[in-house]
Structure 1
Amino acid sequence: MLITASHITKYNLFKCIVDDVSFTINETDKVALIGINGTGKSTLLKMIAGTDDYQGDILRKKDIRISYLPQNPHFQDHLTLLQQVYEYVDQSVPDYEVQAILNRFGIKNYTQKIQELSGGQQKRVALAITLLKPCDLLLLDEPTNHLDNEMIEYLEKYLIKFNKALLMVTHDRYFLERITNKIFELDRSKIYGYDANYSHFLELKAQREEVELASERKRKLFLKKELEWVRAGVQARSTKSKDRLQRFEELNNQKDREKIQNVEMLSVSSRLGKKTIELEDVSMSYENKLFEPFSYHFKRNDRVGILGKNGCGKSTLLNIIAGDIQPTQGQVILGETIKIGYFKQGHGDMNPALNVIDYIQETARVLNTMNGQLTAKQMCEKFLFESDMQYTPIERLSGGEKRRLYLLKVLMEAPNVLLLDEPTNDLDIMTLQILEDYLDDFQGIVITVSHDRYFLDRICDGLFVFKDQMITYCNGGYSEMISIADTQIKTNRDTNQKYKEQKKKRIKLSYHEKQELETLENLIPTLEKQLKDIDEQMNGVTDFQEIQNLTQQRDQLENDIEMQSERWMELLEKQEQSQS
């Protein structure tokens, strides 16, 4: 066993995070830690990583190596990106390996100062650092936040192949389904373990809650009968009577099973007229062009997802629709009844010193809903901010609680168009499911930037796909788009295979092709040696400019080797076919 936790208890001020819990993590476990926002998932990860205190015992295997990705990484602003990496990663790790994984996560300017990076870029750098460190236990806190779909799919494949222990906090339900073999549920200060992936966990959780409810009903029924016996005035003279009274007192003193509170989202949209939102030849450029002119007329109750690599202009398009920035070309025409609610990345412009209730009352003190008029206080309660919590300063809320509070503020505006920029970041799965149900019934338009593949499949009936500075509209959700792409690839492969079979009978190697084959057999080993020489040379270089030059040479060599190898295989196959 790598980790054995026994009788762990932890309080944050007066809030109980875990109460006398025990669990183990084995060498090959891939564990997901789930629970609603504010239950203490990140705190538990810090306790296992050894960066937060607790009562009880956490025994770690001797010489265990733990690599930990926090939700909010702490870096030194004055360092360059590469200097910051080597503050955490052993100097023996080759530069090209560091640069390769940074490139994989969309970070290419290695001399850029940490203070110049966005929060999302810093999180990606922290993820790269975490994966570069050799470890026996990998701790990841919301690893998919700020990653585009290509990066998420790479990380998913990496973690599926990862042969060490993994414990992660994530809301990505495809991750939970495909990677994990065990789930820890943090529920009302207790931890429940399930040897299951996500879909099996849902079945086991339902069974557990059903058993607990049945036990609670039996306890109350027993107490009712025993209470009648006690009220009958039975004298506690005999040992039997004394034992029965003591058992009654023990059961009566047990706390009732605490009811799980869920976020309650009520219909609060404004009336939407016939004319909605029209994009007319909208394009955007800064130093470089983000996307070519694009036109689209939104239908009432449209559900559109926006998909593409980081930096391609997805959030920019939302800002253009919201009117926060003007496009380089084209125009956005809004209908007279359009009322936009914009749920941006992060937590919006929150004043950390404000109380929860004051922050909401800045938008509205009263809200008209389908269920009647509700006050800001009542709406806070429906979003799990009880009366005592409403006077808590925002700075003391968890990341997920701040995100939930920000969502409430947006809905308090009663919009009929919702712009959602990465809405799933930092929200727990239960809140996500409720949000998805709410969006199903929302009387208006939903436009969302998201890298949550499950969310896109669940919500969207169409996608704006950003690729090569173009925006293309595709029907359906994420999986449907991927399925179409896979079908096209398969069709191309089948066509190529048929073409090869047709050509097979008339294949013959020419004189020049024979010469080329002999040349390639000598050239490829030479190129591979040059690649090895560059790797050795990079290990001794400290100048960043020289590192970048060598990296470019290395990339070019890899491309050359790949091209020449493909040509060599093609000629070799042709030679074999001509001889058969």
Structure 2
Amino acid sequence: MGSIGLRNVSVLTPHPLFRNLTLTVGRGDRLGIVAGNGSGKTTLLRCLAGLAEPTEGDVVRSRGLRIGFVPQAVPEELLGLSLRDAVLSGLDPADRAGSGWRADIVLDEFGAPEPMRVQALRALSGGWQRLALIARAWVAEPDALLLDEPTNHLDLEKLFLLERWIREGTGGAAVAVVSHDRSFLDACTTKTLFLRPDTSVVFSHPYGRARILLAAQDAALANRNEKDRREIGRLRQNAGELRNVGVNSGSDLALTKAKQLGKRADALEERLKILHRDRPGEVRLASRETHARVLLRIGNLTVNRPDGEVLFHVPKLDVAQGERIVVLGRNGAGKSQFVRLLHRAASDPDACSDIRVGPSAVLGYMDQDLSQIPERETPFGFVLSAFRQGDRQTTALLAEAGFSIAQQQRPVGTLSPGQKARLGLLALRLARPNLFLLDEPTNHLDIPGREALEEQLLAADATGILVSHDRRFVAAVGTRFLAVEGRRVREVASPEAFYARIQAG
């Protein structure tokens, strides 16, 4: 076992992602790395792994340290391999012969069924592909494990499994994990790094407690800066008055005191620290008023797979103003199919007689693939044609959402997932809906974006039906909860009992 140390490490691209970062990740550490999208988290992981070099500073690794690195995307060359062979590829070629048992042991830890192990990786779900990458990194028994967004595409069952494995199955290995899932970070990390362009901050606590401490530290810094600024103003005013006295009266003593006061003001200015601000493009929503009490009514609705197989039945459901109903269920239970049915009925009232959307309802729809945004269209063209704001206003709206002029003219298909999510939320805002249908809206949003979405939904007293695996988001915005289990839907008082059943298997 060993450690990875950073000494005054900076990365400039050319603007600083982070600078003067000093940090050690050692035996038994489980470090959560938190920052907004595009703020350097992946770059930091790659520097820790030796896959990238910092602009300044040193990365020191213990002699012989074995590092397992888990990227966000599945390497193309692995997709044609079987699950078992993909895991084995994490070993040196000379060690693979006769080592199939190693892959089997790791796959046993993750509960991979035997028939699945011979299937090609490209045929498996996104969740199993993520677990395959983690198993591939772990099969070589690394001393340090670096995980970049490991919860992407995981359903709740696999998410709980991964949390438990990181806590209990990684032994004394050093773990560093990048994630936007606040509940996940609280469940399996012991330290938190808030990565910032100027001064990054580390706390020896999981995310929730660390976030409280960070807020208190930021508030104290803001107060100190304000006091220092007032003192700087007073010193400069006094120095100016003394300088005038010295010049008018020829007093060397007054001029000397004026210089001393000026130097004290200069010293205080140097002490002022830059307050961190989250990146531009924060989430904002708008909602239009309606006098209708019930905006959506469902009666005797059957939700089927595309092949006709019955998934579940909804005998009766009314969605009243101010209600945000969260639909809970395992992957494959039919949650997304349910939301798609509601969207189709809202777009075409004759599509389904079992769904009635109020005449005053204005729909705001967002699916987890953001399929409502044309991939070949540019953000500028999409917003201009869909909402007719005019060229200048469209440019300003996109800039406010965090899109540069160059990004506004690129095809949507070339944008990052986080940028697509921000564009989808901008479209929701401009539609000014009073009925939201949101399927995994926090996918690809960073923590500031998720928290802003929560705040906006609450501030607007939004009405709608939502699907999400983000437990913190569900707890923050949900007012009613439906659990889909065993082809049945039932209302539950809170999601906690549902989560407990999943964890219990």
TM-score by length of 2: 0.81
Deviation at 1:290, TM superposition (A): 4.8
Q: Distance in 1 between matches of 2:372 and 2:46?
A: 28
The answer to whether 1:302 aligns with 2:323 is: yes
The answer to whether 1:423 aligns with 2:432 is: no
Which deviations, in whole Å up to 9, do the C-alpha atoms of 1:114-163 show, x marking residues without a partner? 44455555334323433444222222222222212221111121122133
The aligned residue for residue 477 of structure 2 is 459
Count the aligned residue pairs: 477
Deviation at 1:412, TM superposition (A): 2.1
Moved more, 346-355 or 414-423: 346-355
Deviation at 1:387, TM superposition (A): 7.5
The answer to whether 1:184 aligns with 2:185 is: no
8 Å Cα contact 2:29-2:190 kept in structure 1: yes
8 Å Cα contact 2:88-2:100 kept in structure 1: no
8 Å Cα contact 2:107-2:135 kept in structure 1: no
3-state secondary structure, aligned to 2:24: strand
3-state secondary structure, aligned to 1:166: strand
3-state secondary structure, aligned to 2:195: strand
Deviation at 1:377, TM superposition (A): 4.8
Q: Distance in 1 between matches of 2:83 and 2:497?
A: 38
8 Å Cα contact 1:82-1:110 kept in structure 2: yes
TM-score by length of 1: 0.71
8 Å Cα contact 1:269-1:443 kept in structure 2: no
Moved more, 56-65 or 95-104: 95-104
3-state secondary structure, aligned to 2:455: helix
3-state secondary structure, aligned to 2:431: coil
8 Å Cα contact 1:8-1:22 kept in structure 2: yes
The aligned residue for residue 136 of structure 1 is 143
Look up the equivalent residue of 1:463 and give its one-letter code: F
Deviation at 1:392, TM superposition (A): 7.6
The aligned residue for residue 35 of structure 1 is 35
Look up the equivalent residue of 2:32 and give its one-letter code: A
Which deviations, in whole Å up to 9, do the C-alpha atoms of 1:457-482 show, x marking residues without a partner? 222233332333x1322223311545
Return closer, same or farther for 1:79/1:255 CA change in 2, 3 Å cut-off. same
Which deviations, in whole Å up to 9, do the C-alpha atoms of 1:308-352 show, x marking residues without a partner? 2222322122222211999x9984333333333222224546567
Deviation at 1:194, TM superposition (A): 0.7
Residue ranges of structure 1 left out of the alignment (5+ in a row)? 368-373, 490-580
Q: Distance in 2 between matches of 1:194 and 1:82?
A: 38
8 Å Cα contact 2:33-2:178 kept in structure 1: yes
The answer to whether 1:73 aligns with 2:91 is: no
Look up the equivalent residue of 2:471 and give its one-letter code: R
The aligned residue for residue 64 of structure 2 is 63
3-state secondary structure, aligned to 1:412: helix
The aligned residue for residue 358 of structure 2 is 335
Deviation at 1:435, TM superposition (A): 1.4
The aligned residue for residue 578 of structure 1 is none
Residue from 432, 437, 453 that aligns with 1:435: 453
Residue ranges of structure 2 left out of the alignment (5+ in a row)? none
Q: Distance in 2 between matches of 1:461 and 1:255?
A: 44
Listed as ranges, the matches of 1:283-294 within 5 Å are 283-286=303-306, 289-294=309-314
Which deviations, in whole Å up to 9, do the C-alpha atoms of 1:25-83 show, x marking residues without a partner? 12111111112233222222222122233222111111112222222232324444443
Over alpha carbons, which structure has the higher Rg?
Answer: 1
Listed as ranges, the matches of 1:225-264 within 5 Å are 225-232=234-241, 233=243, 245=262, 248-249=265-266, 251-252=268-269, 257-258=274-275, 260-261=277-278, 263=282
Return closer, same or farther for 1:353/1:5 CA change in 2, 3 Å cut-off. farther
8 Å Cα contact 1:5-1:59 kept in structure 2: yes
Deviation at 1:418, TM superposition (A): 1.7
The aligned residue for residue 508 of structure 1 is none
3-state secondary structure, aligned to 1:317: helix
Return closer, same or farther for 1:284/1:265 CA change in 2, 3 Å cut-off. same
Return closer, same or farther for 1:307/1:62 CA change in 2, 3 Å cut-off. same
Return closer, same or farther for 1:282/1:393 CA change in 2, 3 Å cut-off. closer
Q: Distance in 1 between matches of 2:439 and 2:138?
A: 27
8 Å Cα contact 2:17-2:39 kept in structure 1: yes
3-state secondary structure, aligned to 1:363: helix
Residue from 66, 82, 105 that aligns with 1:97: 105
- Between the two proteins, what is the percent identity of the paired residues? 24
The answer to whether 1:85 aligns with 2:87 is: yes
Residue from 111, 116, 126 that aligns with 2:133: 126
8 Å Cα contact 1:280-1:294 kept in structure 2: yes
The answer to whether 1:446 aligns with 2:446 is: no
Listed as ranges, the matches of 1:545-564 within 5 Å are none
Listed as ranges, the matches of 1:530-569 within 5 Å are none
Return closer, same or farther for 1:422/1:215 CA change in 2, 3 Å cut-off. same
The answer to whether 1:3 aligns with 2:12 is: no
Deviation at 1:212, TM superposition (A): 1.0
Residue from 340, 346, 359 that aligns with 1:319: 340
Look up the equivalent residue of 1:86 and give its one-letter code: L
Deviation at 1:389, TM superposition (A): 7.1
8 Å Cα contact 2:8-2:20 kept in structure 1: yes
